Structure 1
């Protein structure tokens, strides 16, 4: 069976989308923002409920078990908890208050992890979390997760290293019970530039692609901006370099188009976050709400690579690959490469998951000799085609002893 995921602070669904693409099953989601939840429900066929997770910290307030009840889940229904608690208290792009109550939402995340008795978790936040109170907060989080029985690791990743056309540095905090957490390795090669990403946005008929109707004086000011220059100083509304990944997309700031004298549309910001071009965002009556949804999201492509790394850690814990996830991943990997068949990818993933040839054959419904043939054909193709080999390298897979 596919590993089952509960998404906390789910927002518009970027984290869940990445895990779904990697073959996980999203079984529940929680957020506080109505518009974000509506967006999530448009794209994910699972129960997504409104809840103020900060109340878990109140004396006499709801517990982690209560939150599971709210989404109709028990610990047996959850393998992995994911989430990106609000980061304003840690963000370098805002006036940080080290004592802001919102900072404590990282603790509610771990409280739900404990209640779910999850095999693993993945939490995303801004790098400022590592510096909060001189590093004491991160040390306490590690100690807490360790006391719950998790082997933990954390690392700052740049989304641009994982097929996201944007420089976006985020700390990923992993925990796995019984195994070692594995972070995704940067893919290498040239990152996706802004102009390539924006080529997906071909007209105003796409959802959320309406452009700002600037005042003539504002248009004149924008027209004077060179690449890297800002309309309002510091990091706000910067003219993007078309040949490089975008600057960080935030919840309150749309940068300036590289070629046109206007802000980016919400749709353009979304593709720079690696959302599909047709991914709808609810809340048409409130443009700021849609901007927040996009800027607060975990980029789906980054989430997908996090999911693959976590999946590998789960294989090592169970000594068995989740075969439903393999089948889903096989379709998604084989399609983009155009060189591997689904059967070749499936045989490779199952073998990499630690199954014997007989077990691989049984899972695929074929003889072990045919299964091994699929596997070795895939390896031969990988050696001949750099882009195909990148699939194996991306998943950090190889035949296990």
Structure 2
């Protein structure tokens, strides 16, 4: 059952936690709730640290992990039982440019140095699953080798948070490193089904997924958006359960045209696609013949006989005329260019707007888990509420991430948009809690090993 209440931490600490690249504390929260001591947390984002301090504890600091100040504070800590870190992922993310030279790609080395200094029994590092695929997997191998070099046995798994009762698909790679004198770590077992999304490659087989090593047993049904948002009141005018209300008036026409499971997408000819020319109130009226030209290009642009461009090929006017069966005046094409529906590519025509390639104004299905919550969920241009003509509220995004309602953002003094950014970058707390419970078992196994040796 999906829960949304913040549990009180146990009175006696089970071990100390040092956290780097902390964000607002999604990865830390599960450990806090399970009774571990939050000894030190660092992030270079003041808004993130404000939210962390408001909700988890005071031992959090605005720090750049490359500075002498941070390094001195780590040395002063002397030790920790656990080190956590969600090192920056922009150079690996599927949502942005993938640059092998992005300086953020090597910030994990600061985490390695922290681990080398504090010698924790175990560490957990988190990143986007693109890390395991991009650049031929070279960074994945480098990270494992670098952490291994300071005396840790390192394993990784691909995990989708939906497998742990989060009402959202969120695929991430988790690294767990165990100090050489510690027993092996037992990964947490999935508790919920992992429904495959349309167009998504399986996480089984090609990479080391947590599913490859788990006893599936009797799994609960994946938590839907509807269940995850159950019980929330009507939107507020301000605070966490509100929206920005900052978008153009023409969006209202687009909202009404996008049905459940649909998106605004010109270049994918599918039932899930709504085309801009079907919303003349927002994008301008065209004739029936012009509509036929656009739909003909849409249906045929990806056929291999017209070219081998993976995302689609521009078509010559003669080809379009042949398919439609009529001669076409050039004014039709110039008008569609002028209105922003078509682009001329070396005398051929394609639908305009790579922006529509993966779709905009996506409206997820109410009875399915949410797509991955991103930092831009305040803007309805990217995602719409399943039943409302608006984006998700910040509180709804937090629910989809598995944050309890008692975990506050705007009351910590940060803006609404900053709250969306923090939630979109966070690790889902239910996943953190599952990891914390596994580490509790790990520590218990270690104590048993010591007792047997004595």
Question: Which TM-score bucket, shorter chain as reference?
Answer: 0.7 to 0.9
| Residue 197 (structure 1) aligned to one of 228, 236, 246 | 228
Deviations 1:65-90 (A, max 9, x none): 42415xx5221xx1000111111110
The CA deviation at 1:22 is: 2.1
**Contact 2:235/2:242 (8 A) holds in 1:** yes
The CA deviation at 1:31 is: 0.4
> Does 2:40 correspond to 1:36?
no
Equivalents in 1 of 2:118, 2:389: separation in Å?
49
SS in 1 for 2:92: coil
SS in 2 for 1:174: strand
1:226-375 aligned within 5 A: 226-231=259-264, 233=356, 234=358, 236-254=360-378, 255-282=383-410, 286-319=415-448
| Residue 179 (structure 1) aligned to one of 162, 180, 183 | 183
> Does 2:50 correspond to 1:50?
no
Given the superposition, is the C-alpha separation of residues 183 and 251 from structure 1 closer, same or farther in structure 2, using an over 3 Å criterion? same
Equivalents in 2 of 1:128, 1:120: separation in Å?
24
Given the superposition, is the C-alpha separation of residues 5 and 150 from structure 1 closer, same or farther in structure 2, using an over 3 Å criterion? same
The CA deviation at 1:291 is: 1.3
Gaps of 5+ in 1: 56-60, 322-353, 356-401
**Contact 1:152/1:181 (8 A) holds in 2:** no
Given the superposition, is the C-alpha separation of residues 106 and 235 from structure 1 closer, same or farther in structure 2, using an over 3 Å criterion? farther
Equivalents in 2 of 1:259, 1:8: separation in Å?
38
The CA deviation at 1:317 is: 2.6
TM-score by length of 2: 0.65
Q: Which has the higher contact order (CA 8 A, sep 6+)?
A: 2
**Contact 1:65/1:115 (8 A) holds in 2:** no
The CA deviation at 1:212 is: 3.6
> Which of the two has higher C-alpha Rg?
2
Partner of 2:290: none
Equivalents in 1 of 2:403, 2:359: separation in Å?
23
**How many residues align structurally?**
313
Given the superposition, is the C-alpha separation of residues 273 and 118 from structure 1 closer, same or farther in structure 2, using an over 3 Å criterion? same
**Contact 2:83/2:122 (8 A) holds in 1:** yes
**Contact 1:204/1:210 (8 A) holds in 2:** yes
Higher helix share: 1
**Contact 1:81/1:120 (8 A) holds in 2:** yes
**Contact 2:50/2:413 (8 A) holds in 1:** no
| Residue 95 (structure 2) aligned to one of 78, 93, 96 | 93
